[in-house]
Amino acid sequence: MSRFHCSVGVVLMVFVAIELRAQAPKMTENVLTAQALIELASKAPAHEMRNQARLLEAQSILESARRWWIPSAVIGAQSFSRRGSSMNVAGEILPDVVARNSQWMGELRLGGDVAQSWTAQESAGFHQEAVIWEVATERDERILACMAAYVAAIASAQDEALHAASVEAWKQYEKELNWLVESGLRPRSEVLSAASERLHLESQVLQLRAAREAMLAELWAVLGVQDAMPLSEDWPVWTTLFTKNATAVWPEQFALDARLSQAESKQKGLTRELWLPELRFSPMLNGFGADFSSLAPTTQWVGALMWSIPLDRLLPGGDKGQAAAQVAFRQADALVWDQEHTAQLSSLEKRVTLLNQALAQQNEAASQADEARAQSLDRESQGLVTPFERIQLERQHLRAHSSVFSLQSDLLLLEIMRAMESGAQWARD
């Protein structure tokens, strides 16, 4: 990764990170869409406030390091008064002598270690860069978590509707079975079995609804939304969630690179302390009053150029060892990220391929289940379909379509994760 591309990315990320909270994105007919979710998640109020504070802190650290040359001002005054006896140079004692004196002083003190100032500014700059990318990483992870809850909620809603429709079908079967039982054509155990199955489905409907409420409650809390809003019933198209012409950007990797540069800067700073001087400059203006008011103010200029050579920097271990260890830690973090990123991307590619094949097979299974149920309805008028057969067909239909929803949800999230691992960026207004 070239420093030029990193710098351009940093500038862009600064612009995005320090932007004040914009107005909430427009909802289509008060329905939360995937694109609106991205905007809300990227500007979640509580997280945005925290990020702004982190960026402000990093900027303040850099500004403090740059102000090493600003002097400190010292202003003071003192007054002296004495009344009583005194002896002159001839040995005579003079009674009732009054002695008074006052003095004022103004001074500017400028001093700083050039090596430490240089290292502090360089290190603070890399720290600020790292914070910017860390904020971007947390933002992307927050959007991904919200998107996962959003997709799971849509899948849960569709699955709930499917189970609710199946419950109604089971109620119709129970009515028919009751008529057959009353006619003496079927045993009562079949009615009890159908009732048990229906109650189980009704329980699943409530469980799905409860799980979705938990997902949505967490989603609203992250987004900072006071009133819940309905979700779009359409599956998001993952390609529309990312910018179309974005170059590969991995904020987490850039943050690790900045932290590595910060550790290397501190390591180099130990060497700078061996040859860069320490500066001291202190101009002072004094004035006397009272008995010495005739004296003119005096000025004093004190400057110093000193080399302070810490001998321990020449020895192994100590601060040098700690700095080297910090560099090694950062290098290890960067290597771990690279290995995990490569393995994750390879795994996602394989999982997406396999789930696409599984979804194609499951869609075919759902189509066959639809066809089987449709044929059973045609044969029902001829009295060739038993209630037990219809129950089995309904079970197959429910299981097949429920699996389709589950696979669609899992595949969509894997596609989104693969895009992010490939360096895609969320599409935001």
Q: How many CA within 13 A on the CB side of residue 370? A: 8
φ, ψ for residue 73, nearest 5 deg: -100, 135
Alpha carbon separation from 378 to 150, 182, 244, 371 (Å, rounded): 39, 25, 49, 11
User: Mean pLDDT in the chain?
Assistant: 82
The lowest-confidence range among 204-208, 256-260, 294-298, 393-397 is: 294-298
Indicate the domain borders of the chain: 3-421
- Domain 3-421 fold: Outer membrane efflux proteins (OEP) (1.20.1600)
What does pTM read for this prediction? 0.78
User: Is pLDDT at 356 greater than 90 in this prediction?
Assistant: yes
Alpha helices per DSSP H over 224-298: 251-275
Q: Summarize pLDDT for 114-136 with one digit per residue, the tens.
A: 888 889 999 999 999 999 999 99
**pLDDT confidence bin for 192, thresholds 50/70/90:** confident
Minimal CA–CA distance to 140: which of 348, 422, 420, 429? 420
* Direct distance between the N- and C-terminal alpha carbons of the chain, in angstroms, rounded to an integer: 27
Q: pLDDT tens-digit profile of 54-86?
A: 999 999 999 988 888 888 888 888 787 878 887
Q: Which residues lie closer than 8 Å to 339 by C-beta, 6 or more apart?
A: none
Residue 150 and residue 303 in contact, taking contact as beta carbons nearer than 8 Å: no
Helix axes of 3-17 and 251-275: crossing angle, nearest 10 degrees: 110
- Helix boundaries (H) for 302-386: 318-380
CA atoms within 13 A on the CB side of 333: 17
The token pair at 150 is 């959003």
Per-residue confidence band for 11, with pLDDT thresholds at 50, 70 and 90? very low
DSSP assignment of 122-150 equals HHHHHHHHHHHHHHHHHHHHHHHHHHHHH
Q: Which residue has the higher pLDDT, 173 or 353?
A: 353
